[in-house]
Structure 1
Protein backbone atom coordinates (compact mmCIF):
# COMPACT_ATOMS: atom_id res chain seq x y z
CA UNK A 1 0.00 0.00 0.00
CA UNK A 2 1.55 3.32 -0.97
CA UNK A 3 1.02 5.66 1.96
CA UNK A 4 -2.80 5.70 1.85
CA UNK A 5 -5.01 3.61 4.05
CA UNK A 6 -8.52 2.43 3.19
CA UNK A 7 -11.06 4.55 5.01
CA UNK A 8 -8.30 6.43 6.79
CA UNK A 9 -6.40 9.60 6.10
CA UNK A 10 -2.93 10.14 7.46
CA UNK A 11 -2.68 13.82 8.30
CA UNK A 12 -0.77 15.68 5.60
CA UNK A 13 -0.25 19.42 6.06
CA UNK A 14 1.32 21.89 3.63
CA UNK A 15 4.76 23.31 4.36
CA UNK A 16 5.28 26.15 6.74
CA UNK A 17 3.53 24.78 9.82
CA UNK A 18 6.23 26.24 12.08
CA UNK A 19 8.47 23.20 11.67
CA UNK A 20 12.07 24.09 10.85
CA UNK A 21 15.35 22.27 10.55
CA UNK A 22 18.78 23.79 10.95
CA UNK A 23 20.89 23.82 7.81
CA UNK A 24 24.55 24.84 7.67
CA UNK A 25 25.65 26.67 4.53
CA UNK A 26 29.19 27.71 3.67
CA UNK A 27 29.37 30.93 1.68
CA UNK A 28 32.26 32.83 0.22
CA UNK A 29 33.32 35.99 2.03
CA UNK A 30 32.19 38.23 -0.84
CA UNK A 31 28.69 36.68 -0.87
CA UNK A 32 28.50 36.96 2.90
CA UNK A 33 29.60 40.58 2.77
CA UNK A 34 26.93 41.39 0.21
CA UNK A 35 24.29 39.74 2.40
CA UNK A 36 25.49 41.78 5.38
CA UNK A 37 25.28 44.95 3.27
CA UNK A 38 21.67 44.19 2.31
CA UNK A 39 20.87 43.60 5.99
CA UNK A 40 22.53 46.89 6.97
CA UNK A 41 20.57 48.72 4.30
CA UNK A 42 17.31 47.33 5.68
CA UNK A 43 16.36 45.02 2.82
CA UNK A 44 16.32 42.08 5.27
CA UNK A 45 16.10 41.88 9.04
CA UNK A 46 19.08 39.49 9.29
CA UNK A 47 21.15 36.98 7.32
CA UNK A 48 18.66 34.18 7.92
CA UNK A 49 15.79 36.29 6.58
CA UNK A 50 17.73 36.96 3.38
CA UNK A 51 18.73 33.32 2.89
CA UNK A 52 15.18 32.04 3.57
CA UNK A 53 13.82 34.56 1.06
CA UNK A 54 16.36 33.46 -1.56
CA UNK A 55 15.50 29.79 -1.02
CA UNK A 56 11.74 30.47 -1.26
CA UNK A 57 12.27 32.46 -4.46
CA UNK A 58 14.19 29.57 -6.00
CA UNK A 59 11.54 27.06 -4.92
CA UNK A 60 8.86 29.30 -6.45
CA UNK A 61 10.86 29.55 -9.67
CA UNK A 62 10.92 25.74 -9.87
CA UNK A 63 7.39 25.17 -8.54
CA UNK A 64 6.07 23.54 -11.73
CA UNK A 65 8.92 21.03 -11.81
CA UNK A 66 8.48 20.31 -8.10
CA UNK A 67 4.72 19.81 -8.47
CA UNK A 68 5.19 17.46 -11.42
CA UNK A 69 7.86 15.44 -9.63
CA UNK A 70 5.78 15.11 -6.46
CA UNK A 71 2.82 13.87 -8.54
CA UNK A 72 4.92 11.54 -10.70
CA UNK A 73 6.65 9.95 -7.72
CA UNK A 74 3.43 9.82 -5.62
CA UNK A 75 5.02 11.73 -2.75
CA UNK A 76 3.19 13.43 0.13
CA UNK A 77 4.15 17.11 0.36
CA UNK A 78 4.09 18.75 3.78
CA UNK A 79 3.73 17.25 7.24
CA UNK A 80 2.72 13.59 7.38
CA UNK A 81 1.77 12.54 10.91
CA UNK A 82 1.30 8.82 11.46
CA UNK A 83 -0.59 7.99 14.64
CA UNK A 84 -0.86 4.75 16.57
CA UNK A 85 -4.53 4.52 15.49
CA UNK A 86 -3.48 4.89 11.83
CA UNK A 87 -1.06 1.99 12.14
CA UNK A 88 -3.53 -0.15 14.09
CA UNK A 89 -6.04 0.28 11.21
CA UNK A 90 -3.34 -0.73 8.71
CA UNK A 91 -2.53 -3.82 10.80
CA UNK A 92 -6.23 -4.73 11.10
CA UNK A 93 -6.54 -4.51 7.30
CA UNK A 94 -3.52 -6.82 6.93
CA UNK A 95 -1.65 -4.21 4.91
CA UNK A 96 1.62 -2.28 5.15
CA UNK A 97 2.69 1.26 4.33
CA UNK A 98 5.31 2.69 2.03
CA UNK A 99 5.79 6.18 3.46
CA UNK A 100 7.11 8.64 0.88
CA UNK A 101 7.24 12.27 1.95
CA UNK A 102 8.71 15.61 1.02
CA UNK A 103 8.80 17.74 4.14
CA UNK A 104 8.32 16.09 7.52
CA UNK A 105 7.17 12.57 8.32
CA UNK A 106 6.45 12.06 12.01
CA UNK A 107 5.51 8.84 13.78
CA UNK A 108 3.64 9.43 17.05
CA UNK A 109 5.50 8.80 20.29
CA UNK A 110 2.98 6.16 21.45
CA UNK A 111 3.74 3.88 18.46
CA UNK A 112 5.58 0.78 19.62
CA UNK A 113 8.58 -0.57 17.70
CA UNK A 114 6.65 -3.80 17.11
CA UNK A 115 3.64 -2.00 15.60
CA UNK A 116 5.89 0.15 13.40
CA UNK A 117 7.82 -2.88 12.16
CA UNK A 118 4.62 -4.82 11.43
CA UNK A 119 2.96 -2.01 9.45
CA UNK A 120 5.68 0.10 7.81
CA UNK A 121 7.47 -1.57 4.92
CA UNK A 122 9.58 1.40 3.83
CA UNK A 123 10.22 5.07 4.60
CA UNK A 124 11.64 7.59 2.15
CA UNK A 125 11.70 11.18 3.37
CA UNK A 126 13.20 14.18 1.64
CA UNK A 127 13.33 16.61 4.53
CA UNK A 128 13.05 15.35 8.10
CA UNK A 129 11.87 12.14 9.76
CA UNK A 130 10.86 12.12 13.42
CA UNK A 131 10.23 9.02 15.49
CA UNK A 132 11.23 7.73 18.89
CA UNK A 133 14.72 6.22 19.10
CA UNK A 134 13.19 2.76 19.60
CA UNK A 135 10.97 3.06 16.48
CA UNK A 136 13.90 4.43 14.46
CA UNK A 137 16.00 1.45 15.52
CA UNK A 138 13.21 -1.00 14.65
CA UNK A 139 12.84 0.55 11.19
CA UNK A 140 16.54 1.23 10.50
CA UNK A 141 16.74 -1.25 7.62
CA UNK A 142 13.59 0.27 6.03
CA UNK A 143 14.59 3.93 6.09
CA UNK A 144 15.95 5.18 2.77
Structure 2
Protein backbone atom coordinates (compact mmCIF):
# COMPACT_ATOMS: atom_id res chain seq x y z
CA UNK A 1 0.00 0.00 0.00
CA UNK A 2 1.46 3.33 -1.10
CA UNK A 3 0.44 6.10 1.27
CA UNK A 4 3.24 8.53 0.47
CA UNK A 5 2.11 11.84 -1.00
CA UNK A 6 4.28 14.59 -2.43
CA UNK A 7 3.57 17.88 -0.74
CA UNK A 8 4.06 21.27 -2.30
CA UNK A 9 6.99 23.31 -1.09
CA UNK A 10 5.72 25.68 1.57
CA UNK A 11 6.12 29.26 0.51
CA UNK A 12 7.06 31.48 3.42
CA UNK A 13 4.32 33.94 4.35
CA UNK A 14 6.77 36.61 5.41
CA UNK A 15 10.02 38.23 4.37
CA UNK A 16 12.99 38.63 6.71
CA UNK A 17 14.31 42.15 7.20
CA UNK A 18 17.16 43.55 9.25
CA UNK A 19 17.01 46.81 11.17
CA UNK A 20 19.47 48.69 13.29
CA UNK A 21 18.24 50.17 16.57
CA UNK A 22 19.95 52.38 19.09
CA UNK A 23 20.86 50.82 22.41
CA UNK A 24 18.34 52.88 24.35
CA UNK A 25 15.44 51.92 22.08
CA UNK A 26 16.52 48.29 22.19
CA UNK A 27 16.72 48.42 25.98
CA UNK A 28 13.23 49.90 26.20
CA UNK A 29 11.89 47.11 23.99
CA UNK A 30 13.65 44.52 26.13
CA UNK A 31 12.10 46.07 29.24
CA UNK A 32 8.59 45.77 27.76
CA UNK A 33 9.33 42.14 26.82
CA UNK A 34 10.64 41.43 30.32
CA UNK A 35 7.51 42.98 31.85
CA UNK A 36 5.33 40.68 29.73
CA UNK A 37 3.80 43.26 27.38
CA UNK A 38 5.26 41.38 24.39
CA UNK A 39 6.45 37.81 23.89
CA UNK A 40 9.76 38.90 22.35
CA UNK A 41 11.44 41.70 20.38
CA UNK A 42 9.94 40.50 17.10
CA UNK A 43 6.44 40.58 18.56
CA UNK A 44 6.97 44.20 19.62
CA UNK A 45 8.39 45.24 16.24
CA UNK A 46 5.57 43.54 14.28
CA UNK A 47 2.96 45.25 16.46
CA UNK A 48 4.66 48.63 16.07
CA UNK A 49 4.75 48.23 12.29
CA UNK A 50 1.08 47.17 12.14
CA UNK A 51 0.07 50.14 14.29
CA UNK A 52 2.03 52.53 12.10
CA UNK A 53 0.59 51.05 8.90
CA UNK A 54 -2.87 51.35 10.43
CA UNK A 55 -2.42 55.10 10.76
CA UNK A 56 -1.73 55.33 7.01
CA UNK A 57 -4.46 52.99 5.72
CA UNK A 58 -6.22 55.65 3.68
CA UNK A 59 -2.99 56.97 2.11
CA UNK A 60 -1.93 53.45 1.12
CA UNK A 61 -5.36 52.71 -0.39
CA UNK A 62 -5.32 55.92 -2.40
CA UNK A 63 -1.79 55.27 -3.62
CA UNK A 64 -2.67 51.73 -4.71
CA UNK A 65 -5.69 53.03 -6.62
CA UNK A 66 -3.66 55.86 -8.19
CA UNK A 67 -0.93 53.51 -9.37
CA UNK A 68 -3.38 50.76 -10.40
CA UNK A 69 -1.48 48.23 -8.34
CA UNK A 70 -2.73 44.85 -7.18
CA UNK A 71 -2.76 44.29 -3.45
CA UNK A 72 -1.88 40.92 -1.92
CA UNK A 73 -0.61 37.80 -3.65
CA UNK A 74 -0.32 37.59 -7.44
CA UNK A 75 0.78 34.38 -9.13
CA UNK A 76 1.98 34.20 -12.74
CA UNK A 77 1.98 30.68 -14.14
CA UNK A 78 3.66 29.45 -17.29
CA UNK A 79 0.20 28.99 -18.84
CA UNK A 80 -0.69 32.64 -18.03
CA UNK A 81 2.47 33.93 -19.68
CA UNK A 82 2.15 31.60 -22.69
CA UNK A 83 -1.40 32.90 -23.24
CA UNK A 84 -0.08 36.47 -23.12
CA UNK A 85 2.62 35.56 -25.62
CA UNK A 86 0.09 33.97 -28.02
CA UNK A 87 -2.07 37.08 -27.76
CA UNK A 88 0.94 39.29 -28.47
CA UNK A 89 0.45 41.14 -25.20
CA UNK A 90 3.06 42.46 -22.80
CA UNK A 91 2.43 42.40 -19.06
CA UNK A 92 3.25 45.32 -16.77
CA UNK A 93 3.25 43.88 -13.25
CA UNK A 94 2.45 46.22 -10.34
CA UNK A 95 1.97 44.44 -7.02
CA UNK A 96 1.91 45.53 -3.40
CA UNK A 97 2.56 42.32 -1.48
CA UNK A 98 3.95 39.17 -3.05
CA UNK A 99 4.40 38.47 -6.76
CA UNK A 100 5.30 34.89 -7.69
CA UNK A 101 6.48 33.72 -11.07
CA UNK A 102 6.16 29.94 -11.35
CA UNK A 103 9.34 27.91 -11.23
CA UNK A 104 8.64 26.38 -14.67
CA UNK A 105 8.68 29.80 -16.40
CA UNK A 106 11.79 30.10 -18.55
CA UNK A 107 13.85 33.29 -18.63
CA UNK A 108 13.01 33.60 -22.36
CA UNK A 109 9.26 33.41 -21.72
CA UNK A 110 9.52 35.95 -18.89
CA UNK A 111 11.43 38.41 -21.09
CA UNK A 112 8.99 37.93 -23.97
CA UNK A 113 5.91 38.64 -21.86
CA UNK A 114 6.89 40.91 -18.95
CA UNK A 115 7.59 44.48 -19.98
CA UNK A 116 8.02 45.91 -16.50
CA UNK A 117 7.91 44.66 -12.94
CA UNK A 118 7.20 46.79 -9.87
CA UNK A 119 6.80 44.90 -6.63
CA UNK A 120 6.48 46.64 -3.30
CA UNK A 121 6.97 43.70 -0.99
CA UNK A 122 8.62 40.57 -2.35
CA UNK A 123 9.20 38.87 -5.66
CA UNK A 124 9.56 35.09 -5.80
CA UNK A 125 11.01 33.78 -9.03
CA UNK A 126 13.93 31.65 -10.08
CA UNK A 127 17.33 33.30 -10.06
CA UNK A 128 17.46 32.92 -13.86
CA UNK A 129 14.12 34.71 -14.33
CA UNK A 130 15.13 37.49 -11.94
CA UNK A 131 18.38 37.93 -13.86
CA UNK A 132 16.54 37.97 -17.20
CA UNK A 133 14.18 40.68 -15.93
CA UNK A 134 16.77 42.70 -14.00
CA UNK A 135 16.62 45.64 -16.43
CA UNK A 136 12.79 45.71 -16.17
CA UNK A 137 12.47 45.64 -12.38
CA UNK A 138 11.76 49.01 -10.80
- Paired residues for 1:59-78 under 5 Å: 59-78=53-72
* Aligned twin of 1:35: 29
Q: TM-score, normalised by structure 2?
A: 0.88
Partner SS for 2:65? helix
Deviation at 1:20, TM superposition (A): 1.0
Residue in 2 aligned with 1:12? none
Q: What's the secondary structure of 1:50's corresponding residue?
A: helix
Pairs within 5 Å for 1:1-144: 19-144=13-138
Please report how far the alpha carbon of residue 104 of structure 1 lies from its aligned counterpart in structure 2 after TM superposition: 1.2
Q: CA RMSD in A?
A: 1.2
TM-score by length of 1: 0.85
Please tell me whether Structure 1 or Structure 2 has the larger radius of gyration of its CA atoms: 2
Give, in angstroms, the shift of residue 102 of structure 1.
1.1
Q: Bigger relative contact order, structure 1 or 2, given CA contacts below 8 A and separation 6+?
A: 1
**Structure 2: tracts of 5 or more residues without a match:** 1-10
Cα deviation 1:98-121 (Å, max 9, x = unaligned):
001111111000001111111100
CA distance in 1 between partners of 2:19 and 2:135 (Å): 29
- Deviations 1:89-137 (CA, angstroms, capped at 9, x unpaired): 1112110100011111110000011111111000011111111111112
Report the equivalent of 2:7: none
Stretches of structure 1 that go unaligned for 5 or more consecutive residues are 1-16
4+ long deviations beyond 3 Å: none
Q: Deviations over 1:16-43 (max 9, x none)?
A: x951111111111111111111111111
SS of structure 1 residue aligned to 2:117? strand
